[in-house]
């Protein structure tokens, strides 16, 4: 595989939720497998944390999640410091927190960026509980700061679990909201319209992928309405046997989720985040759709890093051993271990990785 310059190459964590200590190399594809409660979601949630941090929204996010106490491993009586260290391309980001016991908030005790061509730590200057990315204080190196901040801002954790009639992507949206695909695909209609009018090849790839898993699907019907400059658009689609457009509400849950996933991965690489993060993308998908999704992910990973968790044996069967990170938990402490192909070659002659996992040959299964 080729490697993008802004891939997340390495991650270290100390004292975060169920993760007492983590030191993990990252690859183009990173699939977290493990039992319920092992800690997969806690690692995924780190990227939501970092996204809020980079945008100056950390204080409100921490409060909305129940306060700083929830973030420290086994609470602040057990853990007095929390640390993250990321290597992104040639740059790095390091941050440490202490708890403010008076108001249950986080206190930045250290924050800096690095670059591989120098041993220097380029300090940021956090202020009033927000990162030095947004504090208004001059960083030691504005270019180094900007590079890392741009990566963290795009660390959106995508999830398309809500397919009810009240799902945001089924609602009318402003046509101008086509800047990027939102984390719950709320703006998928204007985003698809942008692709149809400006990136036709990628739009057609999304249509073709949807037709593969839903043969009755002919095309999207994307017709703006309203006055010029203030137009609205609604996600609708056309059946192969009917001319009248249907609402997205009559799509099955699996088809609706697949459309969101296909749009995420098949948009132009220049529009995609450098790292795409997903929590259980297999939910509601037919095995045939899982095969198509796995193929799409593998192709996209040549240019875009993918981090996702899964509980699906069927989905896991489509990937190679080196794509997996096995997550286990012992006495409430999460451990993360990347697999190596050599130790599994004999089993791989007859079984896929999902089957090997189901047979409890690599860990990541409930301790009965």
pLDDT tens for 145-170 read 998 899 898 888 999 999 999 999 99
- pTM for the model: 0.93
User: What is the dihedral angle through the alpha carbons of 47, 51, 53, 55, rounded to the nearest 10 degrees?
Assistant: 180
Residue 233 pLDDT: 97
What is the per-residue pLDDT for 107?
Answer: 96
pLDDT of residue 365: 78
> What's the pLDDT at 366?
66
Please give the structure tokens belonging to residue 194: 């942008």
Low-confidence ranges of the chain (pLDDT < 50): 1-3, 368
CB 332 within 8 A of CB 74: yes
Alpha carbon of 322 to those of 36, 56, 159, 326: distances in Å?
22, 36, 24, 11
* pLDDT at res. 3: 45
CATH class assigned to 8-156+275-358: alpha beta
Q: What is the pLDDT of residue 5?
A: 61
Q: How many CB atoms lie within 10 A of CB 57?
A: 15
CA 261 to CA 200: how far, in whole Å?
18
The boundaries of every CATH 3.40.50 domain in the chain are 8-156+275-358
Q: Sign of torsion, CA 158 163 168 169?
A: positive
């Amino acid at each position: 595989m080729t490697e993008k310059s802004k891939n997340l190459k390495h991650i270290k964590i100390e004292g975060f939720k169920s993760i007492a200590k983590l030191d993990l190399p990252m690859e183009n594809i990173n699939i977290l497998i493990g039992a319920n409660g092992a800690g997969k979601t806690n690692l995924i949630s780190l990227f939501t944390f970092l996204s809020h941090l980079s945008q100056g929204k950390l204080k409100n996010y921490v409060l909305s999640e129940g306060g700083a106490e929830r973030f420290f491993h086994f609470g602040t009586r057990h853990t007095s410091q929390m640390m993250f260290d990321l290597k992104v391309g040639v740059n790095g980001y390091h941050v440490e927190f202490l708890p403010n016991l008076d108001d249950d908030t986080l206190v930045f005790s250290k924050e800096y960026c690095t670059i591989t061509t120098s041993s220097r730590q380029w300090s940021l200057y956090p202020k009033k509980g927000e990162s030095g990315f947004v504090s208004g204080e001059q960083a030691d190196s504005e270019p180094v700061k900007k590079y890392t901040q741009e990566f963290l801002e795009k660390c959106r954790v995508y999830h398309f679990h809500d397919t009810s009639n009240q799902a945001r992507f089924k609602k009318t949206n402003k046509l101008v909201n086509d800047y990027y695909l939102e984390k719950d695909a709320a703006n998928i209609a204007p985003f698809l319209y942008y692709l149809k009018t400006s990136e036709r090849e990628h739009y057609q790839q999304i249509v073709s992928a949807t037709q593969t898993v839903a043969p009755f699907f002919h095309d999207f019907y994307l017709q703006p309405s309203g006055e010029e400059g203030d137009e609205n658009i609604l996600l609708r689609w056309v059946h192969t046997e009917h001319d009248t457009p249907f609402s997205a509400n009559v799509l099955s849950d699996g088809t609706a989720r697949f459309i969101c996933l296909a749009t995420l991965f098949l948009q132009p690489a220049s529009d995609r985040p450098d790292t795409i993060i997903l929590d259980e993308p297999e939910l509601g998908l037919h095995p045939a759709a899982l095969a198509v999704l796995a193929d799409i992910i593998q192709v996209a990973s040549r240019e875009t890093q993918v981090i996702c968790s899964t509980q699906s044996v069927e989905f896991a069967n489509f990937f190679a051993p080196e794509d997996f990170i096995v997550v286990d938990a012992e006495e409430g402490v999460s451990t993360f271990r990347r697999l190596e192909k050599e130790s599994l070659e004999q089993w791989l002659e007859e079984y896929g990785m999902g089957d090997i996992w189901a047979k409890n040959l690599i860990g990541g299964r409930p301790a009965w």
